[in-house]
Amino acid sequence: MLTRKQHELLLFIDHHLRTTGFSPSFEEMKDALSLRSKSGIHRLISALEERGFLRRHHHRARALEVVRVPDKSIEPAQAVATFAPNVIRGDFGANRLAGVRAAGDAAAVQLPLYGRIAAGQPIEALRDGGTQIEVPLAMLGSGEHYALEVAGDSMIEAGILDTDTVIIRKGETAENGQIVVAMVDDSEVTLKRLRRRGSTIVLEPANAKYEVRIFPADRVKVQGRLVGLLRRY
């Protein structure tokens, strides 16, 4: 018998693996379960491993395998909906999202699509204000938003793939561990996880092939943080 938190974590990991092909990070699991520290996630994973629901591949980074899903003691839709990643799949090439309006007409807004942002090495910022993309209003919170197309694979372990479109909430601040649009030296822009270390800013990829980059804090400006993801199949 699993506790509710163990059950929720197992469903979240299983859903994340099926959706992205990668295990979630401890930070993502902590946020999904609204825990204050990663130590709680470590304890839950160990408990799931001991009970035969989860297997860790220790020779690979962030490699989790769901061995089995328990009998549903809670309604599965309820559990999965709590943690479903903010990803919309469909064909939005003509500023439309196929399948977004599932039950009646859902409210949607037009966001500016500013061009391609590197999820590898930084590239020059592109700001083509003439292109728009339609996004369900339910994906957005308060504030001003814009969209960017991802170029590169340095964020694949965070579930962000080449050609995905990311939805960014404008802002100049971000918390440690959040994925942000960062502008370096007022000329280059990149999508990375942000860490602060003293007087420096660390731009951290989610792919072991890429190096962590460290800059003096005055060379990096946060342009917004990731709040959603659109994917075309």
Catalytic residue set:
154, 192
- Residue 9: φ, ψ to 5°: -65, -40
Is residue 155 packed enough to be buried (19+ CB in 10 Å), middle (13-18) or exposed (0-12)?
A: buried
CA–CA gap between residue 156 and residue 168 (Å, rounded): 17
φ and ψ at residue 158, rounded to 5 degrees: -100, 10
Distance CA 135, CA 144 (A): 13
Report CA torsion sign: 15, 19, 21, 23: negative
d(CA 158, CA 69): 23
176: Cα within 13 Å, side-chain hemisphere: 7
* Phi then psi dihedrals of residue 219, to 5 deg: -95, -10
The pair of three-digit structure tokens given for residue 124, joined into one six-digit string: 């020059």
Do residues 165 and 229 touch, judged by C-beta distance below 8 A? yes
- Chain centroid to Cα 118, Å, comes to 15
92, 221, 36, 75: CA torsion to nearest 10: 0
